[in-house]
Structure formats: C-alpha cells, structure tokens
Amino acid sequence: MKYKILVDSCTDLPVEFRKDERFKIIPLSLMVDDKVFVDNGEFDQKEFLKIMKESQNGPKSACPSPEDYLKEFDDESDTFVITISSELSGSYNSAELAKRLYLDEHSMKNIEVFDSKSASVGQTLIALKIRELISEGHLFDDIVQKIKTFRSEMKTKFVLESLDNLKKSGRLSHLKAFIANALNIKPIMGGTPEGTITKLDQARGIKKALISMANIIERDVIKPNEKILAIAHCNCIERANFIKDEILKRVPFKDYFIVDTAGVSTMYANEGGIIVAY
C-alpha cells in the first residue's frame, strides 16, 4: 500500500519518524505577545520557554488552515490524518473541511481524519499503530476501524511543574494558582474519552505526583503486554527517565519510547511537564 500519515505539530514524533518521508508534520503557529513561532523542524524550544516565562500574557496557538492539509492530499497515496483533540484546537475541523473539499472532486481517494481525542504522544501512538497495521497488510477500511478501537482504549495523562500558563490563559484563577504554587501542589491530569481534560489527583511535590501517576496507570491499564508506553517531556529528560522506571517496575509494557516536546506540547506542558500515553 502506498500511504501517507499526516500529523499536526502537536504530535511528538521520535527523530527516526521525522526522517520518514511517509510522515508529514502540518505545523501550527504559536504566539506570545507580538512574537510568532511556526511549530516546524526549526522550532527553538529554549527560546520559546524563555519568552513564555517573561511574558505576562498566556501563549496562544493558531491551527493549520484547510489549505495546509488540502495540498498534501494531491497524490495517489492512501492518506491518514491525526490531529490534536478537537476539544483543544481547530486542527481537526480544518482537516475535515479539507477532506470534504478534496473528495468533492476526487471521490475515489482514500482519506481518513482521526480526532486523536488526545495530544502529544497520544497522537504519536495512533500514527505508529497505523504504520504497524499497514505493515501487517491490512486494507484501508480495516485500518480505520481498528484505529477507532485503538483510540477508544488509549489513555493519556500528564503532570505539570508550572501552572503559570493555565493562570495566564484564564483557565485557572490567580488565587488557585497562587495557593498551588505556594504549597508546591502538582495536579495529575488525564484525558477523557471525549478528548477533554480532567483532574485525577494531586500531590505535594513533583516526585510524589509522578509516583501517583504511575500508580494510577498501574490500576487502569489494560493488556499492557500489547501496548507501548510513550513519554514526552518538556526539557526534563531526568524526570522522564524517572517516571519511565516507576511505571515499568509496576507495569509490563511491551516497549517504550521517550521524546522531547515540540512547540504545541511545550506550550501546554510548560518547562518540566511530563505527558504519558499508552
């Protein structure tokens, strides 16, 4: 099968997949005050973190346009698109509109747009599963159905070091953020089946929060010997290795990988943030 996997730039791909021509990253744009960053291969994480920290305003993102997706459809490849949760960005809606516009004139083309109902390495796991199914010889329609099942069983969790971006964006009151920071409280958050975010637990200190997340994963994981543990970190590789070890000594995942966050995930997680999907 000749195929292409399009992912928006919230997908945190390992380096080896960024070099694979069958994977194409569609960038979002990030804004902090009057500065604009395109979330492509030239994204400077350290500069972005510095500017976010110095700004009094919350960072914002702009999703890809339908045209950004549309121009990638014009070949003979079966095309799979994976976007960040539609509850967090308009990327999915742009991709769906592009699909409808293209199929109006090219009805025989195979295109499927997946709302990941996740972000970061949750999107990555979907992309890797598509590649695996293709390598096993599954046809397009079968892959679509299997990925929908895979998505419904996938889980995403994260722990934030800093609540500054949530405070600046108005998603957390100044008082709550002040109290949490003063008491060193770290929330353990998770994705819902609908693709929204919910608080699962909290702990005082990042180490306790990560251990709490590992314990939650141990309780809710299903068939771990068939799953890959995916970890994204925002400029904190030691912390990523710590949570990897804590999880793997509790749960026998068949494999794992660790990646640093690209632009959109950096914006959401902020420095020190850890995102886990499985």
Distances, alpha carbon 226 to alpha carbons 105, 133, 190, 206, 251, in Å = 40, 14, 21, 29, 11
One domain for residues 96 and 9: yes
- The pLDDT score that the predictor gives to residue 167 is 61
One domain for residues 123 and 189: no
Q: Which of 101, 118, 153 is the last residue of a domain?
A: 153
One domain for residues 261 and 192: yes
- What is the edge-to-edge ordering of all strands in the sheet holding 29-32? 35-38, 29-32, 60-62
One domain for residues 144 and 269: no
Residue 202's DSSP bridge partners are 187
- The pLDDT score that the predictor gives to residue 259 is 98
CA dist., res. 107 & res. 64, Å (int): 23
- The pLDDT score that the predictor gives to residue 149 is 98
- The pLDDT score that the predictor gives to residue 175 is 46
Give the helix/strand (H/E) hosting 215: helix 206-220
One domain for residues 164 and 226: yes
One domain for residues 222 and 118: no
- The pLDDT score that the predictor gives to residue 183 is 73
Q: Which of 103, 132, 153 is the last residue of a domain?
A: 153
One domain for residues 110 and 233: no
One domain for residues 71 and 200: no
One domain for residues 19 and 129: yes
pLDDT of the chain, 278 residues: tens digit per residue: 899 999 999 999 998 888 899 999 999 999 999 999 999 988 999 999 999 999 988 899 999 999 999 999 999 999 999 999 999 999 999 999 999 999 999 999 999 999 999 999 999 999 999 999 999 999 999 999 999 999 999 999 999 987 776 666 555 555 455 455 667 889 899 999 999 988 999 999 999 999 999 999 999 999 999 999 999 999 999 999 999 999 999 999 999 999 999 999 999 899 999 999 99
CA dist., res. 278 & res. 128, Å (int): 12
Pair of tokens at residue 128: 């890797």
- The pLDDT score that the predictor gives to residue 19 is 86
Q: What is the 3-state secondary structure (H, E, C) of 135-190?
A: HCCCCHHHHHHHHHHHHHHCCEEEECCCCHHHHHCCCCCHHHHHHHHHCCEEEEEE
One domain for residues 181 and 109: no
| 20 belongs to a structural domain | yes
- The pLDDT score that the predictor gives to residue 180 is 57
Range of the domain at 225: 156-277
One domain for residues 160 and 240: yes
- The pLDDT score that the predictor gives to residue 1 is 81
Structural domains in the chain (count): 2
Q: Which of 120, 137, 153 is the last residue of a domain?
A: 153
